[in-house]
Amino acid sequence: MTTHALFASAPKGLEPLLADELRSLGALDVAETRAGGGFSGDLAVAYRVCLWSRLASRVILAVARFPAGTVEELYAAALNLPWEEHLSADDTLAVSCQSLRSQISHSRYAALKVKDALVDRFRQRCGRRPSVDAERPAVRINLHLDRDQATLGIDLSGDSLHRRGYRVEAGLAPLKENLAAAILIRAGWPEMAARGGSLLDPVCGSGTLLIEAALMAADIAPGLQRPYYGFEGWAGHRPELWKELLLEALERRKAGLARLPLIAGRDRDSKAVRAAHLNADRAGLGGQIHFATADLGDLRPPPEMAKRPGLVIANPPYGERLGEQQELAALYGAFGDNLRRHFIGWKAALFTGNPELARELAIRARRKHAFFNGALACQLLHFDIEEACFYGAEKRRGPAAAVVPSDGARMFANRLVKNRRQIRRWAKKNGISCYRLYDADMPEYAVAVDVYGPWVHVQEYQAPDTVDPVMAAKRIREIRSVLPEALEVSAEQVFYKVRSRQSGTAQYRKLQEQGRFHEVAEGNCRFLVNFTDYLDTGLFLDHRLTRQRLQESAAGKRFLNLFAYTGTATVHALKGGAVASLTVDMSRTYLDWARRNLELNGFAVGDRHQLLQADCLEWLARAEGSFDLIFLDPPSFSNSKSMSGTLDVQRDHVALLRQALRLLAAGGELIFSNNLRTFRLDRTALADLAIEDLSAATLPRDFARNPRIHNCWSIRVPEKQALR
């Protein structure tokens, strides 16, 4: 067997790991270099590195080395090389170049000169020349220039080896597969997997870390699924040797899958989870990795892993803006809380480009490794989840001990208790089970706390840029620690979200997709609410009195609900005796939710009570019909892709009201509501209408802290003909 000089490239920071891997694959004379490693070996070794390396990006077989201080020297040397030993005139080719510390600094020009030399040689010798195919050539040639020394080689990989062939779906910031493999190796996963330990990634995204972990644990060659290698079109390729290595890899895969340990992934984004499923299937690991939608802040070990502790590995978002970092500080803090509470005896590894955020875990790292994710310097932090590794004022004495509350946290808890004592009497007297308990009453604890029967929904307002994000995150952790006890509920009954004060349809934005609904009561109506999947729950509590007024006015009337959301106003109108109803919203999701709300209250959707999926603006422009009672509750602003235009309630409310009033029967009433705090009704433009301001009358007591959040008017047409 001929021994070749070879080079394997890899991302910066992986060189020591790559050198160890090359030796394990039979490489000789391994020498670490910048962004890779040189080695020697026969063709079987080169093929084995292409097939089995989890860390390399490319494998280059050296053809020649020579001085090249000028492009003329480069062209002349390349012209004299025996390229006919590597490809024919009928093949395709591509040339790539990297130039370091050389007089020839323009890498594209250098690659072009090598291509010119090669095709000129073929044209001189046989009158024909290879053509260029930059995407998938038969032979890819690599030129490396360093200190005016040129190395020309055949790229045996053809395409970067990190492209395993399984990833068709990627998240917003996916890790490259070879970087993911390096993280797992540094975290000790191969040894842990060999002992039968479990692996859990609570922010799995499109599943790269988990798939790479499964490939390692099941002894599956990472290149087994690749559709293309550069050596396959190379004249020196030995197909029988390659086939032998593939058959060996397939046998090892079959044996390895039988001993695969438990591997699971979670992510709050349901689309990412679906992508992870698809990628695992393409990797031949369908059914071998368990994926589910869940929030990092609600982390628990899956039941099947309880007796098989292992490694929690995570690559959470790093945050680029201050607002993001404030939210992420709370997320990292919740992650640390759950590691301490539920993962004693496990190992954990956190890959982050923001080590300051990692401090929010309040767990002492036993070791750190430096990496680069592209150009971004990152750290891999290693943790042993044991009581002795906890630090700071929040040090726990046991897996479920609570944060030691500060004076401010105790004041917050006391305020909750006081508010609950006062509001609960009022709520019980009025038959109210869903109400706002606290709304940033203490500015430093900027959350809204809503009670929904036995459940509590906590929304954290984003702190302004002037607030220290570390302090903001600390206060959120304090809130989490004292709230359950103050309200006499279990932690499982409390749901947390981070939000900014919203306008438009931003409150409807999906966060995740758990699909968990809870039934709550509002007077004689019942509704389904969702505490996890959206910023809002499906029931706007500040509209409680508005909905009650609709119910009291609906007897015998035809009811129209525009921008209907989950149809709660329709349910109230039907409970009040409306004889017909039309519920309009552009979201199929919310109309399905509205259907469930109607059915929950004993009303069937059909000829009398209809649901219509439509852009309300577009529908109003062409709608016909007659309604006795109309509820119009538009968002403050919307530029949804589903809409034909944009909606600005301040700018557009006069035209919107005029269009809706065309559908109002003689003697009918339109209830107009919105939540724009700066809204001003243009009474001059609506002077011909009978308008009654209901804002104060429909503002519930539990929202009286800030009356500007709620606007409501009753509008009637004295003479219907005036609008025709």
pLDDT at site 401:
41
State the average pLDDT for the chain: 89
Token pair in block for residue 324: 């993001």
The domain limits of the chain are 4-155, 177-222+258-389, 407-501, 518-723
Token pair in block for residue 651: 């700018």
**Residues 558, 580 contacting (CB under 8 angstroms):** yes
> Could you tell me the fold of the domain covering 518-723?
Rossmann fold (3.40.50)
**Residues 24, 150 contacting (CB under 8 angstroms):** no
Distance between alpha carbon 3 and the CA centroid of its chain, in Å? 47
Closest CA to 335 of 451, 196, 517, 476: 476
State how beta strands 4-9 and 92-100 pair: unpaired
Q: Please state the pTM of the whole predicted model.
A: 0.58
Residue position matching structure tokens 């098989």: 308
Whole-angstrom distance, CA of residue 145 vs CA of residue 151: 7
Q: Which residue has the higher pLDDT, 326 or 153?
A: 153
Token pair in block for residue 322: 């201050």
Q: What sign does the CA torsion over 380, 386, 388, 394 have?
A: positive
Q: How many CA atoms lie within 13 A of 305 on its CB side?
A: 24
Q: Which region, left, alpha or beta, applies to residue 667 given φ > 0 means left and ψ of -120 to 50 means alpha?
A: left
pLDDT at site 676:
92
Whole-angstrom distance, CA of residue 232 vs CA of residue 157: 9
pLDDT tens profile 129-170: 999 998 899 999 999 999 999 999 999 999 999 999 998 765
State how beta strands 664-674 and 627-632 pair: parallel
Mean pLDDT of 679-706: 95
Q: Which contacts (CB < 8 Å, 24+ apart) does range 250-257 have?
A: 250/224, 252/219, 252/220, 252/221, 253/218, 253/219, 253/220, 253/221, 253/224, 253/284, 255/219, 256/217, 256/218, 256/219, 256/220, 257/218, 257/220, 257/288
pLDDT tens profile 524-570: 999 999 998 887 899 999 999 999 999 999 999 999 999 999 999 99
Token pair in block for residue 657: 């009201």
**What is the band of 509 on the pLDDT scale with cuts at 50, 70, 90?**
very low
Neighbours of 8 (CB within 10 A): 31
Q: Which amino acid is at 241?
A: L
Q: Is the pLDDT of residue 643 over 60?
A: no
CB neighbours of 215 closer than 8 A, spacing ≥ 6?
54, 164, 221, 222, 283, 285
Whole-angstrom distance, CA of residue 419 vs CA of residue 436: 10
**Residues 601, 526 contacting (CB under 8 angstroms):** yes
pLDDT at site 470:
62
pLDDT at site 266:
95
Neighbours of 451 (CB within 10 A): 24
pLDDT at site 534:
82
pLDDT tens profile 264-309: 999 989 999 999 999 999 999 999 999 999 888 778 899 889 888 9
**Residues 29, 39 contacting (CB under 8 angstroms):** yes
pLDDT tens profile 83-131: 999 999 999 999 999 999 999 989 999 999 999 999 999 999 999 999 9
Whole-angstrom distance, CA of residue 7 vs CA of residue 58: 8
Q: Which amino acid is at 138?
A: A
> Distance from first CA to last CA of the chain, Å, rounded?
94
pLDDT tens profile 38-50: 999 999 999 999 9
pLDDT at site 630:
98
Q: What CATH number labels 4-155?
A: 3.30.2130.30
Whole-angstrom distance, CA of residue 706 vs CA of residue 722: 37
Whole-angstrom distance, CA of residue 215 vs CA of residue 266: 19
State how beta strands 558-562 and 139-146 pair: unpaired
Sheet holding 494-499, edge to edge: 434-439, 447-452, 455-461, 494-499
pLDDT tens profile 564-588: 999 999 999 999 999 999 999 999 9
Q: Is the pLDDT of residue 324 over 90?
A: no
Whole-angstrom distance, CA of residue 632 vs CA of residue 564: 8
Closest CA to 566 of 543, 526, 593: 593
Q: Which residue has the higher pLDDT, 72 or 706?
A: 72
User: Which helix (H) or strand (E) covers residue 163, if one does?
Assistant: none
Residue position matching structure tokens 């802290």: 705
3-state secondary structure of 322: helix
pLDDT at site 682:
96
591-603 in b/e form (b: 16+ CB < 10 A) is bebbbbbbeebeb
Q: In Å, how far are 313, 431, 494, 521, 598 from 531, measured between CA atoms? A: 27, 22, 9, 15, 20
State how beta strands 139-146 and 149-155 pair: antiparallel
524-540 in b/e form (b: 16+ CB < 10 A) is ebebbbbbbbbbbbbbb
Q: Is the pLDDT of residue 320 over 60?
A: no
Neighbours of 122 (CB within 10 A): 20
pLDDT tens profile 336-384: 888 988 898 999 999 998 888 888 888 888 899 999 998 888 999 999 9
At the top level of CATH, the class of 407-501 is alpha beta
CB neighbours of 74 closer than 8 A, spacing ≥ 6?
68, 104, 110, 113, 114, 117, 150
Distance between alpha carbon 247 and the CA centroid of its chain, in Å? 38
> Could you tell me the fold of the domain covering 177-222+258-389?
Rossmann fold (3.40.50)
- List 370's β-bridge partners, or say none: 379
Mean pLDDT of 225-231: 94
Whole-angstrom distance, CA of residue 207 vs CA of residue 166: 11
Question: What percent of the chain has pLDDT above 70?
Answer: 90
User: Is-same-fold flag (407-501; 518-723)?
Assistant: no
Closest CA to 5 of 59, 36, 58, 41: 41
197-207 in b/e form (b: 16+ CB < 10 A) is bbbbbbbbbbb
pLDDT at site 173:
56
pLDDT tens profile 592-614: 999 999 999 999 999 999 999 99
Distance between alpha carbon 304 and the CA centroid of its chain, in Å? 25
Q: Which residue has the higher pLDDT, 699 or 34?
A: 699
Token pair in block for residue 422: 């006062």
pLDDT at site 505:
39
Closest CA to 686 of 672, 697, 667: 672
pLDDT at site 708:
87
**What is the band of 256 on the pLDDT scale with cuts at 50, 70, 90?**
very high
**Residues 619, 612 contacting (CB under 8 angstroms):** yes
**What is the band of 57 on the pLDDT scale with cuts at 50, 70, 90?**
very high
Token pair in block for residue 578: 């409306």
State how beta strands 690-693 and 627-632 pair: unpaired
pLDDT tens profile 160-210: 999 999 987 655 557 899 999 999 999 999 999 999 999 999 999 999 999
Q: What is the DSSP letter of 707?
A: G
Whole-angstrom distance, CA of residue 52 vs CA of residue 5: 19
pLDDT at site 466:
61
pLDDT at site 326:
62
Whole-angstrom distance, CA of residue 19 vs CA of residue 115: 32
**What is the band of 392 on the pLDDT scale with cuts at 50, 70, 90?**
very low
